[in-house]
Amino acid sequence: MSRAVYIIAIVLSVVAAFAIAQVPLSISSGLDPACTLSGKAAFPEGGVTAPGGQHNCAQQIDPNARNSQVLARFDLPQSAAEPAKFLRTRIGLFDELTLTVVDEDGTPHSRIYHMDDVTLISGEPLFMAELPKITGNSRTVFLQIEALRHNATINRVELYSMDPSRTTGHTHALLFLTLLIGLMCGPILFDIAAWSVLRTPLLAWHAGVSASFVAMVALRSGLVVEFVPLSLEGWRILLIMALGITVLNGAMFTRSYIEEECLSWVARRLLPLAGIWAMVASVIHAMAFDILAPLGGAFHSWAMLPVLLTFAVVLIDAYRRGSRAVRFQMIGWIPLMAAFALQLFSYILPFGVQTDGLPLFYLGIMAETTVTALGVADRFFTLRRERDRAVTEARALEHLSERDPLTGLHNRRAIDNRFHDLHRAGYETFALIDLDHFKSINDTAGHVVGDQVLQVVANILREDEHSLAMRLGGEEFLLLMRGTDTELRAEHLRRAIPLRVAREVTELDMLVTASMGVVTIPRKAMPNAQLADIYSRADILLYEAKRNGRNRMLSEKLRAFSPRKEERRGKRPAAA
């Protein structure tokens, strides 16, 4: 595949970026908090409505609050056309969430929510809660969260005057996400269809990666809550585990996708370990151990950082080693890895607000789906060509191993492998042929002339279209015959040998004759016949023909057969 393919892949990524830029992927901005406080010291004993510090956020402001108790204050604008009605923020574990509206005269109106009371909404991993009634005299809204376990919950909080899950932009975003998931199912269907042609782990892992990304999009966009009733904690666990499973599938896919010669032994061992570690870290984060609570979402980010670095190092090393496949993967995965990097560093670094980088994540998904699918198809056809070439070579070698190199006839091995099928197909006559005094031909005329004689005999035996001819070794041949008049046909071939050899091997000044032992064993007489048993009986007849003067045929048709009796009647003669 030429360089144009890579240019096309880049163009597709750019087009995808423009498509994403034109679609509203998030809900329009609401009212941000005027300040955020963290730590119990910020809350007077009388609660948020007590006079004093609750109205002044000048102290202990921490935009990356990681303490278990937080407070956010919203100053309501007096000129707003519609009063705020809903609070919307990022999902995260907490014990209790209190919303308090304070009027101008200091009168509070509060509502308390637990995790099972809030409403999950799509667009992102979000939930919303309805505010206490706001009147024209309301001036401040306080949000107090007890035992907060995820710092993004307080950093992403906003107030809205209308239901944030029912806006036009939100509907457009859901339609886009549905189309994106449909696009991602295409490679899975390709993998299923291709599996019937070539059962390679590459297709299985690619289907796993694609399915994992479908789950990631459904969970990270919140599309899943439109169809499946989930609790906040259940959604959080699924979201965390989906990332771990995706990383594991991605690691194993990369290991099977990149050409073996372009993947170092270190990378081959690191990739599965990185995937397993991603799963372990996801399980730990999903279980929400109290000891990790002060870290908020940073633990998972720190744990995934070495995984991200491992992928980057492996891809760069494979590219340096000349991998063709990794070029597709790099084009397809760079936007996706950038999205993950943006999310990880926003949680790790001590400045800025945490972000999931969803627009870049969706761009990465589209790039991964289109470009990596092209790469998998290219790799699939390469592997299929290699497999077909290997099968052809194996068949050629098998053909050579079952053929006599001098005469081109089948050898004993070829017939042994399928003797029962041949006997059942009607090959019931076995003619064993041995050239008389062949040793003297080699001694007087030389081995080259002897080889010519063997080749002429082979050509004669091929002429019966209802027979299979083989060379057993030396000057000995075997005919498997079916049809009528098999003994007469065998004798006709034997009689043709002296005339044809004399005519075609002019260097030879002696007559070449042949002796033959013919056995006909109907399948009903011996349904489980073994070639070795029938060969032994034909060999006895051939020995008797030689003992009776050579240049003749002895034959018999058996109605019943006992190998042990026949073995006692004679033995194979010495070479003549």
The SS3 of residue 530 is coil
Q: What is the enclosing helix (H) or strand (E) of 513?
A: none
pLDDT of residue 512: 92
Q: Look up residue 2 and give its amino acid.
A: S
Q: Look up residue 57 and give its amino acid.
A: C
Q: What's 370's DSSP letter?
A: I
Angle between helices 232-257 and 201-220 (to 10 degrees): 150
**Whole-angstrom distance, CA of residue 345 vs CA of residue 391:** 50
Q: Please give the full DSSP string across 175-242, using - where no structure is assigned.
A: HHHHHHHHHHHHHHHHHHHHHTT---HHHHHHHHHHHHHHHHHHHHSSGGGGTS---HHHHHHHHHHH
Which residue carries 């005299």 as its tokens?
137
Q: What are the E-state strand segments in 288-428?
A: none
Q: How far from chain centre, in Å, is Cα 567?
A: 58
pLDDT of residue 114: 92
**Whole-angstrom distance, CA of residue 507 vs CA of residue 361:** 83
Domains recognised in the chain with CATH numbers: 3-25+168-392 (1.20.1070), 35-160 (2.60.120), 412-569 (3.30.70.270)
pLDDT of residue 574: 41
pLDDT of residue 433: 94
Side-by-side strand order, sheet with 108-113: 35-38, 69-75, 138-146, 96-103, 108-113
Model pTM above 0.85: no
Task: Per residue of the chain (576 residues), give pLDDT as tens.
Answer: 445 554 555 555 545 544 444 444 444 568 888 887 776 544 444 344 443 344 455 444 344 444 467 888 888 887 767 888 899 988 888 889 999 998 888 888 899 999 999 999 887 888 999 999 888 888 889 898 888 877 778 878 889 888 877 767 667 777 777 887 887 788 888 888 878 777 788 888 888 888 888 888 888 888 888 888 888 888 889 988 988 998 899 899 889 888 888 888 888 899 999 999 999 988 988 887 766 666 656 677 788 888 888 988 898 898 888 888 888 878 777 777 777 776 666 666 555 455 565 666 777 777 777 777 777 777 777 777 766 776 665 555 455 557 788 888 888 777 777 788 788 888 889 999 999 989 888 888 898 999 999 999 999 998 988 888 888 888 999 998 888 899 999 999 999 999 999 999 988 888 999 999 999 988 777 777 778 878 888 999 999 999 999 999 999 887 655 554 444 444 444 433
Active-site residue, selected from the candidate residues 124, 158, 475, 566: 475
Phi, psi of 6 (to 5 degrees): -70, -35
Q: Please give the full DSSP string across 466-488, using - where no structure is assigned.
A: TEEEEEEETTEEEEEE-SS-HHH
Side-by-side strand order, sheet with 86-90: 119-121, 126-130, 86-90, 158-160
* Residue 475 annotated to the active site: yes
Answer whether 13's CB lies under 8 Å from 331's CB: yes
State how beta strands 553-557 and 514-520 pair.
parallel
Answer whether 12's CB lies under 8 Å from 40's CB: no
Q: What's 40's DSSP letter?
A: G
The SS3 of residue 143 is strand
pLDDT of residue 42: 46
Residues 6+ apart with CB under 8 A from 398: none
Residue among 448, 465, 463 nearest 505 (CA): 448
State how beta strands 429-435 and 476-481 pair.
antiparallel
